[in-house]
Structure 1
Amino acid sequence: MATQRPGFQRADTDFHQDQDQAVSSSFDPEKHAAPSPEITYMDGDDEPEFIAAKEDHFGETAVLSDAKDVLTHVIHVDDDPSLSPWTARAFFLGIGLAIFASVLQEIYYFKPQAIYVSIVFMTVIGYALGETLALIPRKGAFLTFLNPFPFNSKEHAFIVIMASAAATNAVSTEILAAQRLYYGMDPNPGAAIFLVISSQLLGFGIAGLLRSVLVQPTRMLWPINIPVITLLETLHRDKRETKFRLKVFWIVFAILLVWEIIPEWMFPLLQGLSIFCLAKQNSLLFTNLFGGSQGNEGLGFLSISFDWQYIASLGSPMWLPLYTLTNSMIGYLLCIVLFMGIYYGNVWESQNFPFMSQLLYDNSSKATNFSTYDLSLLLTPENFIDRAGLEENGIPYLTGTYIGYLITTNMGLTATIVHMFLWNFDDIKNGWYFLHPTQLKKVLQPSFWTFWKGGKTQEQHRREVLENPDMDPHYKMMVQEGYSEVPNWWYACVLLGSLAVGMGTLYGIESTLPWWGYLIANIFAFVFILFFGAQMGITGFQFNQQPIIQMVAGYMHPGKPLANMYFTVFGFNGVQQGQWLCRDLKIAQLAHLAPKATFTAQMTGAVIGGIFNYIMMKTIVTNQYDILTSIEGSNVWSGQNVQQYNTLAIAWSIAGDMFSIGARYQWVTIAYLIGFIVPVPFWLLYRYTKIEFFNYINLSIILWYMGWLFVGVNSSILSYFAIGFFAQYYLRKYRPGVFVKYNYLVSAALDGGTQVLVFVLSFAVFGGSGKAHSFPTWAGNNGGFGNNKNVDYCMFNPANAG
């Protein structure tokens, strides 16, 4: 997984209120025997603006309060089974967007800040392309085949799901990049591609087998999907409204497509404008605190960014609920205090190393001359840890800010689990109903395992679903209308085939991971998808499980950094991929896409994504080798993701010397235990005082964001919060008509214009496929790291150039 600042989304009351207002929809009471929602009209026109309530049995207004209300009153429970996704147009656009999304996501992996391809943007661009192809004249059988007019919602959902399945950067490309950059290894391309594909499809197989638990029940709302589904409905249900809103989209899209050339290439000073650094350009203190327009430069405090690529690097702030924005801002401010305190308090000898870095350093490093750890002195020819070399050269050091990130992240991991049990126990209990004895008995029945005999008949499955009150009404409707379910043995074959291919490639590329470690990694993936997938499906929480996987791998495979990385590929990548695929299965369910079409789209997208992830990784590593191995990188390319991945693999391979109790960085491990405790006081205070402040503060979110600034470009954070609070507080409260009509659509347009231009510039001028073409140097483009300067005029630390 690309290095990501910690963060997650929360599906609480704030979220539901936000999303209830995000779309106008209707419900057929005659067909589905449910009350119609109340639609409010504003601004004197006849366009429905938002839904905030439903009518109860007494004709009174009641707020939408649970997952079923959202699924039936915000999203239409109606369908046209005659619409077909099986068109040449759907496959052509799906494959094309899958290639685009996978290439773009891999490019973003090597950026100074982790950025994610917007699925909402893929939804809109897929619609625009589909409507364009629908203009092909329908003359003759061939042109009619190319244009089965009109472009329908099922085709659109098929395209979006295929592109979404590809829009990930496989963790396996991280280790392949690390092997080239740090171990002098270049695995066979064929074996490497099979490794990438098998690691992606393992999560797909697991997610498919667990879909009856993680996708089909009503309680598995997957709130992150609601904006995508409402956008799909808007685009395909109300052509009059769609026409004007798409006009707004394309105007904003075009503006960003032109504008982003300026901060990205011509005027990079706008990526992070720091008044403090412009006023004082000879202070490293100012650089550390106020600088942040380049990777690993500084904390970017009070810098202003005009570059949407970095403002929305981890998701547009226009989407986040006010609750999450508030708690994350508290964590962000505390992060600045924590990191400055660690560094200037010289905790863990921090001042002998860079302020921010993800590399390992040796004990000769000083503030004026940073000395990275020579891994060749620590590794045997077989890439195992050489104990004699370790004793001779000493235990490696990490930067203080990086240790601060590891501590707060580990605390946040366990604090999140405790917080959810304290505040969301009913949701968690319902989400884990599969652990109830009556459910576990089914696992012991032979019919549960003998899926190859055909399992239940379609009629048996139909009857069970329709009689189950916990099933999603949308899924019940699809079953009622005769949609054919994908047999479990399809997913089982994908899982078993991927396991076999993965096992073979591990030995073919000298991974050093034993077969039993490989199997244990996949067991971790299965268990983590089951538990954390349920949490994400119910509440919207998602957090990075990679550190705990690498810790387990370190203690299981001491002295084997490559084994640690490959264990993480399958133990963590399976979780990440499985969660995203469950999310997409829910999109298909709410969009009423046939299960077999969904299976085809996800399989195709996952394979395409894996192949093009590898191709782009190899291209960028070859052309940007020196920048990717440098401490700071540039404002265009950075190897900080690979550096972090390799650093943790080395560090956890000698966990007993670095992180165990009594070791230099023991608090990294102790933090897991502290995280179990920190949410409890606030919960007790709220329970016994009922003061709303204690309920509103979420320490698990705050802890995650206390490590937010450890890496990447930080000059965009002030702009991020300013835009987020403007949209979610001012517009939502005082301009609800504007908020409902345009907030999410404009956000998608901003993402789209930016991401298309970054894709073009990466190849045209940034050297993604060869030589870079720099814009002429001037006051707004001082040359950046290449001239030993920071683009925001903060003082460049000369030790970083060494």
Structure 2
Amino acid sequence: MADVKTSALPEEEVSSLGESPDVNVVDEKKVPVDVTTNSPQDVEEGNDFDEDIIHHPADQDDILTHTIHVQDDPTLNCFTFRTWFLGIGLAIFGGVISSIYYFKPQTVTVSTVFVAVLAYLLGEGMAFIIPRKGWIGKWLNPHPFNVKEHLAIIIMANSASTAATGIELLAVERLYYDAKLNGAMSIFLLFSSQMLGYGIAGLMRKTLVYPKAMLWPINIPVNNMLETLYRPRSETRKPLMVFGYVFLAIFCWEIIPEWIMPILTGVSIFCLANQKSATFTNIFGGSDGNEGMGLFSLCFDWDYISGGYSPLYYPVESLISQGVGVCLCLVVFSGVYYGNVWDAKRFPFLSQVLFSENATISNQLEWNQTLVIGSDNRIDQAALAVEGLPWFSATYVINILGSNMCISAGIVHMLLWHWKEMSVALTILHPRSIMQNLNPMNWNLKFWSSEVKADPNEDNYDPHYKLMMNYKAVPNWWFMLVLALSVTVALICLYKGDSTLPWWGFLISCLVAWAFLLIFGAMQATTGIVFIIQPMVQLIGGYIQPGNPVANMYFTLFGYNSVVQGALLSQDLKLAQYGHLAPRVTFTMQMIGTIIGAIFNYIMMNEIVTNQREILLSVEGTNIWSGQQVQQYNTLSVAWGGLAHELFSVGSRYQWCSISILVGFLCPLPFYFLHKKFPSLGMNHVNTAVLLYYIGYLCVGINSSIMSFFIIGFGSQWYLRRYHPNIFVKYNYLVSAALDGGTSVIVFIMSFAIFGAAGKSVDFPSYWGNNENGNYDLCLYTD
């Protein structure tokens, strides 16, 4: 066995962006850098893993070093014509598609796996078609399409493929307030709101990216797929066959539940047995939006089981907490509705709109926002006295209550269980640190020229980070500059655009974003769960600027969107770290992708709102366009921004939504102390923040998939990982990527070919398998 060591290229051979500038053709005989127990000799000979290599199937290190191998070839060139052409092209595609689908009745997200599959097909196609010889080959096709080109393209496209929250605000102002920022101001507003989160997250890399505890499970299937595609065929022939078969199988299968037989979305034995009970619909139904809780339903549609968040990659601790939370949700929802808490029976079982004081179960009048908001965009108290305060459905109140509890519980949970990682980010708040940073004597060139790197031998850090130290790091001042420019541009936009949000309110929103990104970025990294904390941000904004819904929208834009964008940046930084892409390359791809995405988000939003205004304002919409997401964003800004005191303060109708925040601080403590006293009980596997978040999880959408989600998740992360660990590390994440990839591709194709995204929809002939006049699972239709 050869000695195992980490090697790096001489620094003079590494370009300013971290890659070797003069390497165009990869030496296929080069031995990759390897810091695992497999030596370079083993890799060169193409030896596969022995059956007894995984000794501790529950150990996270096995996932980090065997599912994604700790090997790197620093000479791989990622800056090629293919990278820029496909990266920019897919970024434009992502920016256009994400904004189009924001205004659709059905939402198709541009998933990372879908982008990865598309980039691979196009990249290999260009490498095959473009000549390899002469000056054309030298500049356009210098070597085979490699993994680092592929990863750079994915990161650029990813950065553009999530619709900016800013287009929600711009659309609401135009549709409901007859206000319109000019094009330049609108684009700069999008830039500042997107980049603000990037600047904050970039300064938190030592907390959110480098530690091995920050797993970012959503990335593992993508990285595992990339590794399988580019390792020697002698090692990956069987995994590639598995990937191909699964991809093709799910590609063909999804046509059946999505179009031919939608009853497979939710098969409920209870609904089939009793099709005339509203109670059965509420509890056992779930194949349609806002139908019911889906208890004991089985779903055979991977699009709904996964939804972009595959059960195959969630850690078992996360699945346990989610499962307990969902069980409590079933009990609590049933209790508050059938106990008629908050006049629950006057309103639908599941709903997200605001209802009038005069609403009844037979006449569900919506609250008249236009009447209550005055010409100055503030709440008209006289009109409010006439219209009355709005009402929520009781289950939606539980969703708000659970979300607020989970935020305070999440803060305590992360400080108790991940203090080592959190303390790195919190040191900046220490008085001694503040005084040192304010002292000009400490503003030396060394600090500004490069990032202070962590000790590569520190056990706390991801083993893949050690390989990243072979490349030039991104200096802290790059992210500080992004943050400073974002704050400056944001303040100009706020005052020039008459946002009604004062400078001090904006700074509070930035502090809120910093605190929530630290806690819930880390929570997402460890559990794989994306927490929707927008209600809490809106609640904070409502209390500091009462009666001002427009200011609340801007507060939410910077206080919540920055958390979303910061988490996306951290997620992609971890994706690059697992794939060993140079940090400066990653930074470049993210910044360019975000700029492209924001520009095309605005262009498409402007065209759609201008040409489809009446449809977007209507409740029903059409099968092509819908304003449902804009309407919801507007409704929440009115409820939390305009009426926070009246609805949520102590003594008001929904006071427990605020009191629950205090209760949440106490929830993690019993589990923590029980684990300290009785470690064998496994209380360390209970994440109270996740548990509380899932208490209100079933308040919206299609819920028939929840049982299938947990069956598949526990089958993978508990049974397969525990009893067949070698199969788990070789195929679990690869199969997850194949399932998500095949589903994304066919759903995207069907959206344009069948579902009306490009014109008229094509319905499958009506029969018992696609009940067009009611719920797909044949439960009683109660709306």
AA matched with 1:233: E
Contact 1:37-1:73 within 8 A present in 2 as well? no
1:678 is the counterpart of 2:678: no
1:354 is the counterpart of 2:342: no
AA matched with 1:378: V
The C-alpha deviation readout for 1:140-183, integer Å capped at 9, x for no partner, is 32244222212222212211211222232322223334445544
| Structure 1 vs Structure 2 CA RMSD | 3.8
Contact 1:619-1:768 within 8 A present in 2 as well? no
Inter-CA distance 79–167: structure 2 relative to 1 (3 Å threshold)? same
> How many angstroms apart in 2 are the aligned matches of 1:633 and 1:304?
30
> How far apart are residue 615 of structure 1 and its match?
4.9
Inter-CA distance 330–104: structure 2 relative to 1 (3 Å threshold)? farther
Inter-CA distance 116–723: structure 2 relative to 1 (3 Å threshold)? farther
AA matched with 2:123: G
Among candidates 633, 653, 659, match of residue 664 of structure 1: 653
Contact 1:431-1:534 within 8 A present in 2 as well? no
> How far apart are residue 338 of structure 1 and its match?
1.1
AA matched with 2:709: Y
| Partner of residue 605, structure 1 | 593
> How many angstroms apart in 1 are the aligned matches of 2:614 and 2:267?
27
> How far apart are residue 727 of structure 1 and its match?
2.3
| Partner of residue 12, structure 2 | none
> How far apart are residue 378 of structure 1 and its match?
0.9
Query: Could you tell which deviates more after superposition, 339-348 or 524-533?
Result: 524-533
1:390 is the counterpart of 2:384: yes
Inter-CA distance 680–754: structure 2 relative to 1 (3 Å threshold)? same
> How far apart are residue 551 of structure 1 and its match?
1.0
AA matched with 2:542: G
Map 1:314-713 to 2 at 5 A.
314-429=308-423, 432-434=426-428, 439-440=433-434, 442-446=436-440, 456-457=448-449, 477-479=467-469, 481=470, 483-507=471-495, 509-533=497-521, 543-615=531-603, 617=605, 641-652=629-640, 653-690=642-679, 692=681, 694-713=683-702
Q: Percent identity among equivalent residues? A: 49
1:274 is the counterpart of 2:274: no
1:167 is the counterpart of 2:161: yes
Unaligned runs of 5+ in 1: 1-25, 54-60
> How many angstroms apart in 1 are the aligned matches of 2:373 and 2:511?
29
> How many angstroms apart in 1 are the aligned matches of 2:262 and 2:217?
36
| Partner of residue 284, structure 1 | 278
> How far apart are residue 224 of structure 1 and its match?
4.9
Contact 1:295-1:634 within 8 A present in 2 as well? no
Among candidates 66, 86, 89, match of residue 82 of structure 2: 89
The C-alpha deviation readout for 1:483-529, integer Å capped at 9, x for no partner, is 44444444344333333433344455553323432333223323443
The secondary structure found in structure 2 opposite 1:719 is helix
1:260 is the counterpart of 2:233: no
The C-alpha deviation readout for 1:609-629, integer Å capped at 9, x for no partner, is 223444555677688878877
The secondary structure found in structure 2 opposite 1:253 is helix
Inter-CA distance 441–708: structure 2 relative to 1 (3 Å threshold)? same
The secondary structure found in structure 1 opposite 2:769 is coil
Inter-CA distance 159–522: structure 2 relative to 1 (3 Å threshold)? same
> How many angstroms apart in 2 are the aligned matches of 1:37 and 1:95?
37
The secondary structure found in structure 2 opposite 1:676 is helix
| Partner of residue 123, structure 1 | 116
AA matched with 1:795: L
> How far apart are residue 463 of structure 1 and its match?
8.9
| Partner of residue 47, structure 1 | 48
Report the TM-score when normalising by structure 2: 0.85
| Partner of residue 792, structure 1 | 777
AA matched with 2:112: I
> How many angstroms apart in 1 are the aligned matches of 2:595 and 2:456?
34
| Partner of residue 720, structure 2 | 731
Inter-CA distance 558–75: structure 2 relative to 1 (3 Å threshold)? same
The secondary structure found in structure 2 opposite 1:790 is coil
Contact 2:410-2:523 within 8 A present in 1 as well? no
Inter-CA distance 678–490: structure 2 relative to 1 (3 Å threshold)? closer
Contact 1:223-1:537 within 8 A present in 2 as well? yes
Inter-CA distance 76–775: structure 2 relative to 1 (3 Å threshold)? closer
AA matched with 1:364: N
Inter-CA distance 524–378: structure 2 relative to 1 (3 Å threshold)? same
| Partner of residue 18, structure 1 | none
Inter-CA distance 348–539: structure 2 relative to 1 (3 Å threshold)? closer
> How far apart are residue 104 of structure 1 and its match?
4.9
Inter-CA distance 285–734: structure 2 relative to 1 (3 Å threshold)? same
Among candidates 112, 122, 125, match of residue 132 of structure 1: 125
> How many angstroms apart in 1 are the aligned matches of 2:182 and 2:700?
32
> How far apart are residue 762 of structure 1 and its match?
2.8
Contact 1:29-1:36 within 8 A present in 2 as well? no
> How far apart are residue 365 of structure 1 and its match?
0.4
Query: Could you tell which deviates more after superposition, 742-751 or 76-85?
Result: 76-85
> How many angstroms apart in 1 are the aligned matches of 2:73 and 2:39?
24
Inter-CA distance 765–518: structure 2 relative to 1 (3 Å threshold)? farther
Query: Could you tell which deviates more after superposition, 488-497 or 552-561?
Result: 488-497
Contact 2:448-2:476 within 8 A present in 1 as well? no
The secondary structure found in structure 2 opposite 1:568 is helix
Contact 2:647-2:654 within 8 A present in 1 as well? yes
Inter-CA distance 466–753: structure 2 relative to 1 (3 Å threshold)? closer
The C-alpha deviation readout for 1:552-573, integer Å capped at 9, x for no partner, is 1001111111211111111111
Inter-CA distance 240–595: structure 2 relative to 1 (3 Å threshold)? same
1:722 is the counterpart of 2:722: no
Inter-CA distance 677–624: structure 2 relative to 1 (3 Å threshold)? farther
Query: Could you tell which deviates more after superposition, 291-300 or 617-626?
Result: 617-626
> How far apart are residue 434 of structure 1 and its match?
4.9
> How far apart are residue 264 of structure 1 and its match?
2.2
| Partner of residue 309, structure 1 | 303
| Partner of residue 749, structure 1 | 738
The secondary structure found in structure 1 opposite 2:735 is helix
Inter-CA distance 402–468: structure 2 relative to 1 (3 Å threshold)? closer
Inter-CA distance 630–365: structure 2 relative to 1 (3 Å threshold)? farther
Inter-CA distance 345–186: structure 2 relative to 1 (3 Å threshold)? farther
Query: Could you tell which deviates more after superposition, 733-742 or 635-644?
Result: 635-644
> How many angstroms apart in 1 are the aligned matches of 2:257 and 2:454?
57
> How many angstroms apart in 2 are the aligned matches of 1:415 and 1:595?
33
> How many angstroms apart in 2 are the aligned matches of 1:565 and 1:27?
58
Report the TM-score when normalising by structure 1: 0.83
Inter-CA distance 568–448: structure 2 relative to 1 (3 Å threshold)? farther
| Partner of residue 11, structure 1 | none
> How many angstroms apart in 2 are the aligned matches of 1:531 and 1:145?
46
> How far apart are residue 64 of structure 1 and its match?
9.1
Query: Could you tell which deviates more after superposition, 214-223 or 139-148?
Result: 214-223
Map 1:156-195 to 2 at 5 A.
156-179=150-173, 182-183=176-177, 188-195=182-189
AA matched with 1:89: R
> How far apart are residue 361 of structure 1 and its match?
0.7
Inter-CA distance 189–770: structure 2 relative to 1 (3 Å threshold)? farther
Contact 1:334-1:706 within 8 A present in 2 as well? yes
| Partner of residue 233, structure 1 | 227
The secondary structure found in structure 2 opposite 1:753 is helix
